[in-house]
Structure 1
């Protein structure tokens, strides 16, 4: 029997925004008979967390959620006895007051690796610290990142993203405008940029 290829998606939080709905739409229509599909949720407090379709393995860890829950998360880490992570998370809050970029890089560094097995394909669906975490800590034969907006409006991550985009195989975005923005900001990676418009799932609707 032919081995089914494994795909891991990384999502920050399944909240009420457009990116979350796009993620759920994709998970609803993707071929779960032909592929082993997993979803790593960084933060499990989103309103759509329980709407992940059957056939998708959900990977989660309370430490990851706490690291992205601000002061409340720091208190939770302390209550659970993760003092080192609590201090690291406090430092992240300090860095965030100086630079979102430094805070994102630091967060990716301190996030524990909760899945060590290899995947045929890993897809970061949110960018920034999820991209950095995927590149630094997860084992995938191929790696893809998504960017869901016009990069010109989010260019404060440019310096860090430039470093990490060198380690992905493709960069997907949702419109021709967004494609052009990425190619203008990162001309050295222009051949990696691809268009994939948002999918609508009749099942989810």
Structure 2
């Protein structure tokens, strides 16, 4: 049996974490033993991890990537704490000099670069090591494996990492998996030299599980709401465009559409700003934040329309889940949108702007026939794609070295 290591950060509520759980639930444990390493054992999805995957013990140094600088220093990880300070200062400086609106990706790269000398290596050698969430420096630098695989979940045309630094990391992987064709295309526009390493494997979905979870009884204010109900499941972050959603609902309210309510399941760093925006626009009764929910599916089930107002996406897991629940779906025209839905068939793509979101909702609100068409086409579709894992098994074959660029990594002695 081949020994596999899969690494991610934590199991907080999110699309990437849900896709990881689905993959682990469908994994071939007859032919593979799977160790899972999380930098921090936290998150509401921890109890959803299948028992067949062995969750390894937390390593204190790696927990710092889910802690503040103050907490890191308080825990006496002084060198890592200082490296975090330097990464923030340098990233903010570059952001100001180059006019980068969101220098967070560069800061994350620097955080790992400066911290790497103070992080322990993994003692056990694996046949395959999989890094499920960027940045992939842990698997690249601290794990010894015959093959290394990294995942891409985002649209690289919308982010600004340091290309030279990232390229050095990517070249240590034998294979890179993108979650959609559009995701692969945007990545290769930045890293064309990695073309032979990249393949597409969709996020694993489990329709039976989603439908079962959607039937769970929980406190849900949407049940008592007789208005036209929109729902979005997303982090409260710049990428997800929840601020644009608030402004779009204000436009609709100003046009006389008082019978529309919008619910958002999720949490994140922009929560205070979004609450202020809701209050400023007088939408407290109609734009409602439901906070973190371990099970978002009963909320999706109660909606008349699912909307993804994102500025960018790799492939939104929640959109596919809404389709499984046969909801009419509207997404903004982010660069990878056409790989997510067939416009006018199983989803509707609106212009990526506040006005475009409002106009798209208005059209779907007024056009019941279109909503029914989108729902009916989702109802007859087959969303079960567990066979996608065959692509992973094929490249995990340690005797199969196709699409490998460069030379094998040097041996690494472990200390964990």
TM-score of the two chains, using structure 2 as the length reference: 0.44
If asked which structure has higher relative contact order (CA below 8 Å, sep 6+), I would say 1
Structure 1 residue 89 and structure 2 residue 84: aligned? Answer: no
Q: Which of 171, 174, 179 is residue 176 of structure 2 equivalent to?
A: 171
* Structure 1 residue 93, shift from structure 2 partner: 3.1
* Structure 1 residue 160, shift from structure 2 partner: 1.5
Q: Which residue of structure 2 lines up, in the alignment, with residue 126 of structure 1?
A: 133
Are the aligned partners of 2:11 and 2:17 in contact in 1 as well (CA < 8 Å)? yes
* Structure 1 residue 152, shift from structure 2 partner: 1.3
Alignment of 1:42-81 (within 5 A): 42-59=39-56, 60-78=58-76
CA 1:202/1:62 → structure 2, altered by over 3 Å: closer, same or farther? Answer: farther
Question: Which one has the bigger strand percentage?
Answer: 1
Q: Which of 151, 164, 171 is residue 159 of structure 1 equivalent to?
A: 164
Larger displacement relative to structure 2 (191-200 or 150-159) = 150-159
Q: Which residue of structure 2 lines up, in the alignment, with residue 37 of structure 1?
A: 34
How many angstroms apart in 1 are the aligned matches of 2:66 and 2:120? Answer: 12
Q: Which residue of structure 2 lines up, in the alignment, with residue 110 of structure 1?
A: 118
Q: Give 3-state SS (helix, strand or coil) of 2:63's partner.
A: helix
Structure 2 unmatched runs, 5+: 92-106, 211-416
How many correspondences in the alignment?
Answer: 193
Instruction: Tell which structure's C-alpha radius of gyration is larger.
Output: 2
Report runs of 4+ in structure 1 exceeding 6 Å deviation: none
How many angstroms apart in 2 are the aligned matches of 1:133 and 1:203? Answer: 34
- CA deviation string 1:107-139 (max 9, x = no partner): 3443322x31111100100021xx112111101
TM-score of the two chains, using structure 1 as the length reference: 0.86
Structure 1 unmatched runs, 5+: 79-84
CA 1:56/1:20 → structure 2, altered by over 3 Å: closer, same or farther? Answer: same
How many angstroms apart in 1 are the aligned matches of 2:129 and 2:43? Answer: 22
